[in-house]
Amino acid sequence: LAQMIGTGVKNQFLAKSPTGTVPESPFNFSAHVDALLQPLQTSHHADQQGYKENLTETSSQSVVVAVDRIFTGSTQLDGNAIVDFVKALCQVSIEELSIQPHPRMFCLTKLVEISYYNMGRIRMQWSRIWQVLGDHFNLVGISQIQDISFFAVDSLRQLAQKFIEKGELPMFHFQKDFLRPFEHIMKNNKCGTVRDMVVRCVANMVHMQGHNIKSGWTNIFSVFHLAAADQDENIVELAFQTTGKIVTQDFETQFRAMVDSFQDAIKCLSEFACNAAFPDTSMEAIRLIRKCAQFIAGHTQLFTDHQMEETGNIPDVDRIWIKGWFPILFELSCIVSRCKLDVRTRGLTVLFDIVKTYGDQFEAHWWKDLFQVLFRIFDNMKLKDNGDDNDFPDRLAIKSEWLNTTCNHALYALTDVFSQYFAVVSPLLLNDLFAQLQWCIQQDNEQLARSGISCLENLVLSNGSKFNAESWDSLCQCL
C-alpha cells in the first residue's frame, strides 16, 4: 500500500468512501486505507466487480512504474552509492536464483538494465560497478541450470556490444576487464550449448565491432584458445574461422591495437594445431603461423613504435623479438613436441623455414634464445628416458619413431641454419652445437648416430676455413 500511495495513485482507481467524510487527496494515507478496507456491497455485484478491476489496475500499473523508477533512478546515485546498490541487487539476485525448483531471474534482468542506464558514467566509476557485476556474471554464467547460464551469456553479449561501441582511450584497458567473464565462463562451464553460445557471441563481436576493439583482443584470443582444445567440431570450426579472419584481414587494418595481444594470437593458433581430433585444422593453423611471421617481417616498425604494456627495461630493439618472433618460434617448437608425426613434421619444416628466411633480421644476442628453443626438440627425447617401467615398450616405440623422424630432420636443419649464419652464431653457440651433435652420436639408434656424424662432418667441411684456434680445440675435444 505504501508503494502504491507513494506513487500518487489517482483517486479514480480507488473506491469512494460511502460516508463521504474522507477527503479525496491522493497523498492522504488514512483516507486511502479507509477506502480500500470498506466492506464490499454484496447487493451490488457490478460495484464489487469494478472495485476488483480498479485495484488490479492500480497494482499492475502504478506499482510496476514505481519499481521501475527505482532502477531508472540509479543514474542519479553518486559513485559510492551506485556500487552499494549494485552489490545489494547482486545479493538479492543470488537469493532468487537459488529458489528451487523454479529460480527467478527478475533481479538478474534488472542488473542488465541498470548496466545500460549507467554505462554513460565516467570510466573510473563504471570500472568499480563492473568489478561487482563481472563477478556476478562469472558466478551466474557457470550455473548448472542451462537457462540461467545461457541468459547470462546473452546479457553479456548485449552489454559488450553496447560497451565496445564507445571505443577505448589509449592507455586504458576497460575492455579487457569487461570481456573477462566470457573467458571465465568458457573455461569453467562444461555445457556444450553454453560454450557454443560464448564462441558465437565473441565471433559476432569481432565481425561487428572489430574496429572498436582495443585491449579486448587479449580476452578474445583467450576464448578462442579455450575453444581450440574442444572436441565439438562446430565450436572449433567457428573459433578457427574467426581467428583466421583476424590474421588474414584484421591484422592489416587493426594490428596497432593487437600488438600487446599478438603472442596470445600465436598461442591460440598453436592450440588449434595441437588438437589431434581435427588434423586439417592443425595444418591450416601452422600455415597461419607462417603468415604471422611474414606479417612481422614486413611491419617491424609497428613493434618498435608501439608503447607496450609492462615493458619494464626492455630496449626498443628487443620489443619485436619478445612480442613477435620469439612467441612464433617457441609455439612452433611446442607443436613439434606435442603433436603426431604429420603435424609435427609440418611444424618443424615451417619453424626452420622461418629461421632461414628471416634470420638476417635477427640481432646477434637473439640467437642464443633461439637455439635454446631449437635444442628443446632434442630435450623432449631426453625426458622420455625416464618413466614408469610398466609403459616401457610404448615409450621405446615412441622414442624410436622420434629419433628416426623428427630428431633426424631437426639435426640436419639445425646444422644448415648454423652454417648459414655461422659468422653470427659461432662465437656464441659452437660449443653448444658440438655438445648436441655428441649426444646424437652416442645414441643407440644407429640412424641418428650416423646422422650426427654426417652433420658434424658437413659442419667442419663447410665452415672449417672460418674456425679459429679455440674452435679447433673444441672440435678435437668433442671427437
The pLDDT tens digits for 219-274 are 999 999 999 999 999 999 999 999 999 999 999 998 988 998 999 999 999 999 99
Q: Which residue has the higher pLDDT, 57 or 366?
A: 366
For residue 83, pLDDT over 80 is answered with: yes
Cis upstream peptide for 101 (omega within 30°):
yes
Q: pLDDT-derived band of residue 473, with 50, 70 and 90 as boundaries? A: very high
Reply yes or no on whether the pLDDT at 95 is more than 50.
yes
Query: Model confidence at 45, in pLDDT bands (50, 70, 90)?
Result: low
Of all residues in the chain, the percent with pLDDT exceeding 70 is: 82
The answer on pLDDT for 192 being more than 90 is: yes
221 and 267 in contact (C-beta within 8 Å)?
Answer: yes
The mean pLDDT value for 446-463 works out to 90
**Mean pLDDT, to the nearest integer, of 209-226?**
94
Question: What's residue 33's pLDDT?
Answer: 36
pLDDT at 69: 85
**Position 172, amino acid:** F
* Candidate from 5-9, 37-41, 320-324 with smallest mean pLDDT: 5-9
pLDDT for the residue 309: 56
Q: Is the pLDDT of residue 357 over 80?
A: yes
Interatomic CA distance for residues 361 and 130, integer angstroms: 44
pTM: 0.81
Mean pLDDT of 166-170: 79
Q: How confident is the model at residue 17 (pLDDT cuts 50, 70, 90)?
A: very low
Q: Residue 13 pLDDT > 70, yes or no? A: no
Query: Nine-digit cell at 28?
Result: 492522504
Distance CA 158, CA 32 (A): 43
Q: Which residue has the higher pLDDT, 32 or 112?
A: 112
First vs last C-alpha separation in the chain? 98
Instruction: Take residue 72 and report the three cell numbers written for it.
Output: 531508472
Percent of the chain with pLDDT over 90: 58
How many whole angstroms separate alpha carbon 109 and alpha carbon 214? 28
Q: Is the pLDDT of residue 1 over 70?
A: no
pLDDT at 272: 97
More confident residue, 396 or 387: 396
d(CA 34, CA 30): 6
Look over the chain and give the mean of its residue pLDDT values, rounded to a whole number.
84
pLDDT higher than 50, residue 19 = no
Examine the pLDDT at 40 and tell me if it is beyond 50: no
Residues in the chain: 479
pLDDT at 48 (0 to 100):
62
Would you say the C-alpha torsion 266, 267, 268, 273 has a positive or negative sign?
A: positive
Mean pLDDT of 70-90: 92
Of 11-20, 117-126, 362-371, where does the model show the most confidence?
A: 362-371
The counts of H helices and E strands in the chain are: 24, 0
Which residue has 550449448 as its cell numbers? 193
pLDDT band per the 50, 70, 90 thresholds, residue 90:
very high
Per the CB < 8 A criterion, the answer to whether 236 and 278 are in contact is yes
| Confidence at residue 398, expressed as pLDDT on a 0 to 100 scale | 75
* DSSP 8-state assignment for residue 85: H
Q: Work out the average pLDDT over 191-207.
A: 95
Least confident stretch, 52-66, 418-432, 463-477: 52-66
Among the ranges given (23-27, 128-132, 240-244, 333-337), the one the predictor scored with the smallest mean pLDDT = 23-27
Cα angle 217, 218, 219 (rounded to 5 degrees) comes to 90
- The residue among 280 and 21 whose pLDDT is bigger is 280
* pLDDT number for residue 392: 60
Choose between 440 and 332: higher pLDDT. 332
pLDDT for the residue numbered 378: 82
